[in-house]
Amino acid sequence: MNNPDQELEQWLQEGDDIFASQSLEADNWIADFDADRQLVVSKLGPYKRLFLRPIKFSPRFYHQLFSLSIESWNYRKQIYLFDNFCQIDLVLDLRFQPSLAYAQRNDDLLDRLNQHIKQTYNPAIDDIINRELQALDDGSWVQNGLLAVEKRIALAVCEVLIIQHIQAQAVCKINAHFAEFPSVQPGKNNVYFHVLKKSFETQEFNNQERNRQQRLLELQEVEEKQRQLEQLKQVAELELQAQAIEAEKNRRLLQEKQEQLVQQLEIEKTIHTEHLNHQAQLKAIEFDIELREKEQQQTKQRQIEIQQLKAQLAHEAEIEAEKIRAQIQRRQTLLSDDFDSIGESEA
């Protein structure tokens, strides 16, 4: 192993960036998000089922759609090291999307699933970040850089969510600022890092080998986890195929039920139409009977009125005849009296 003092002296002479030898291409986890992912809740009576919305899917009245959207989660953290001499600013840009399995486990929170994920796993993410940031107290990152820490944090956060069937992709960025040297950048200011390295050189020498071994173990763990994730992906594909077969079977059953329901509705519609026609006929007959009864009543009433009018006219005619007979009788009496008077006068 090279002597740390020789490496430091070579670096001080050349003035190179101590982070230049590190790969800047982080092993980002590919989450394979689906921006159009929607959850379908099929509920018909006691029957309830959750599945992802297929292509060319037409919702029915017993379907309810929920969007499994991609959520952005910006996490920020700030700590101070070396008696507030160094300020560490962490920014974690996290994007996640709940899967079908997670939605099925939390079917009572479908309208606020992303909010529930943030509230539930925020303490776990806090623990991961605090554990990694507390490890910066040994000062080894000054020589090794912060890229490995950023990778570990991003990978650990993704693992926490993936285990819970939440697709996730994280990018972590850590910046170091020094209170007494605000213009200092790691790997650029030779004097500052020489002083800082001397104060930690004994511990750094031991940490380098330990970090190398740790990186090897981490690499092996990552490879093992990638293998496990590949197996999980294959199992998930098989489950999706089984779900597709089950969905097609259920679709056919629902189609048959729908056709039966349409036939039943047509029969009920025909019966209802016949009932309405029968009711209309009954009402027409009732109206005709009422009309005839009213006409008969009106005819009887007119006959009664005519008879009453005839009787009244006959009565009035009789009274008038009586009057005429009385007048005639009076005139006859007067004429008789006149004839008697004339006879007496002639005698």
Residue 226: predicted pLDDT: 86
Label residue 151 exposed, middle or buried (CB < 10 Å: 0-12, 13-18, 19+): buried
pLDDT of residue 2: 47
Mean pLDDT of the chain, nearest integer: 79
Residue 11 has pLDDT above 70, yes or no: no
Alpha helices in the chain (DSSP H): 4-14, 100-105, 113-134, 141-144, 147-163, 190-346
Whether residue 153 contacts residue 132, with contact meaning beta carbons closer than 8 Å, is answered with yes
The pLDDT of residue 347: 59
**Cβ(148)–Cβ(154) below 8 Å:** no
The greatest distance separating any two alpha carbons of the chain, rounded to the nearest whole angstrom, comes to 200
Per residue in 195-224, pLDDT (tens digit) is 455 455 656 677 788 888 888 888 888 888
Q: How many CB atoms lie within 10 A of CB 50?
A: 18
| Whole-angstrom distance, CA of residue 152 vs CA of residue 221 | 12
d(CA 206, CA 340): 183
pLDDT at position 134, please? Answer: 83
Q: What pLDDT score was predicted for residue 24?
A: 34
- Mean pLDDT, rounded, for 187-191: 42
Q: Is the pLDDT of residue 55 over 50?
A: yes
Residues whose CB is less than 8 angstroms from the CB of residue 209 and which lie 6 or more positions away in sequence, other chains included:
1
User: What is residue 53's predicted lDDT score, i.e. its pLDDT?
Assistant: 83
Residue 334 has pLDDT above 90, yes or no: no
Question: CA–CA distance from 96 to each of 165, 225, 240 (Å)?
Answer: 10, 19, 21
Of 123 and 134, more confident: 123
Kindly list the distances between the CA atom of residue 157 and the CA atoms of 9, 33, 184, 247, in Å, as whole numbers in the listed order. Answer: 38, 17, 30, 34
C-alpha span between 189 and 20 (Å, rounded): 14
Task: Say whether pLDDT at 173 is over 90.
Answer: yes
pTM as predicted:
0.45
* Residue 133 confidence class, pLDDT cut points 50, 70, 90: confident
Please name every residue paired with 64 in a beta bridge, in sequence order, or none if there are none. Answer: 41
Complete DSSP assignment for 167-213? EEEEEEEEEEEESS-TT--TTT-HHHHHHHHHHHHHHHHHHHHHHHH
- Could you give the CA distance from residue 229 to residue 64 in angstroms, rounded to a whole number? 31
Residue 194: which pLDDT band, with cuts at 50, 70 and 90?
Answer: very low
Asked whether residue 308 carries a pLDDT value surpassing 60, the answer given is: yes
Over the stretch 234-243, which tens digit does the pLDDT of each residue have?
888 888 888 8
Q: Is 69 helix (H, G, I), strand (E, B) or coil?
A: coil
CB 89 within 8 A of CB 177: yes
Q: Say if CB 236 and CB 228 are below 8 A apart.
A: no
Half-sphere exposure of 283 (CA within 13 A, CB side): 6
Q: Which residue has the higher pLDDT, 23 or 106?
A: 106
Residue 21 pLDDT > 70: no
pLDDT (0 to 100) of residue 124: 92
Which amino acid belongs to residue 208?
A: Q
Domain boundaries, the chain: 4-239
**pLDDT, tens digit, 9 for 90 and up, residues 258-298:** 888 889 989 988 898 898 888 888 888 988 888 888 888 88
Lowest mean pLDDT across 2-11, 31-40, 221-230, 272-281: 2-11
pLDDT exceeding 90 applies to what percent of the chain? Answer: 12
